[in-house]
Amino acid sequence: MTTDMPPLPEFDLYGFTPYRLAVAAKRTSEELARQYRDRFGISIPEWRVLVHLAHSGEVSVRDIEARVAMEKYEVSRAAKRLREEGLIERRENPADRRLVIMSLTPKGHAMMADLLPMAKAHQQDLENRLGLAFRKLEVGLEALLKDQI
């Protein structure tokens, strides 16, 4: 099939930083996800909700959505499954009844006590693999994420 379209400009997809960051994030996230999926049966969105609750305490779906780069439906779906498993609980926000406050249950807290050391070990493995480049990566990520977290 021939077309009369002009040629596209030269573009190095594999050297394009947003593409490389996305691929690296997905791969490193999947490395940890395999571990917690096998051991605890949770998905990446469920991990993100749980770890955010472990970090922040009581928060709304809106807070999690804003902080962990997930769509509202993903947060809601993950939270629903976690509630069904007895890992989180939710209650109405007394200050704004439109918002739901979520928190870990004792069962969720116990699971995170086992899961967080796995995440810390994964972090340490990443730091070891990157060696001296790790600190530069952290500085670069801070610059990219400034005012977004």
Residue 63, burial from CB neighbour count under 10 angstroms (0-12, 13-18, 19+): middle
In a domain, 63, yes or no: yes
Query: For position 4, what pLDDT does the model report?
Result: 87
In a domain, 61, yes or no: yes
Q: What gap in Å lies between CA 126 and CA 130, rounded to an integer?
A: 6
As for how many domains the chain has, the answer is 1
Single-letter code of the amino acid located at 84? E
What is the β-pairing status of strands 59-60 and 96-104?
antiparallel
Domain residue limits at 110: 18-145
Q: Give the distance from CA 146 to its chain's centroid.
A: 17
In a domain, 11, yes or no: no
Query: For position 2, what pLDDT does the model report?
Result: 61
Query: For position 62, what pLDDT does the model report?
Result: 82
In a domain, 106, yes or no: yes
In a domain, 105, yes or no: yes
In a domain, 4, yes or no: no
Is the whole model's pTM more than 0.85, yes or no? no
CB 74 within 8 A of CB 61: no
Query: For position 1, what pLDDT does the model report?
Result: 58
Q: What gap in Å lies between CA 16 and CA 147, rounded to an integer?
A: 23
CB 88 within 8 A of CB 104: yes
Q: What gap in Å lies between CA 19 and CA 28, rounded to an integer?
A: 14
Mean pLDDT by 10 residues, the chain (149 residues): 84 94 94 95 94 90 82 90 96 77 95 96 95 94 80
CB proximity list for 48: less than 8 A, separation 6 or greater: 64, 68, 70, 78
Q: CATH number of the domain that 74 lies in?
A: 1.10.10.10
In a domain, 12, yes or no: no
Q: What gap in Å lies between CA 47 and CA 114, rounded to an integer?
A: 13
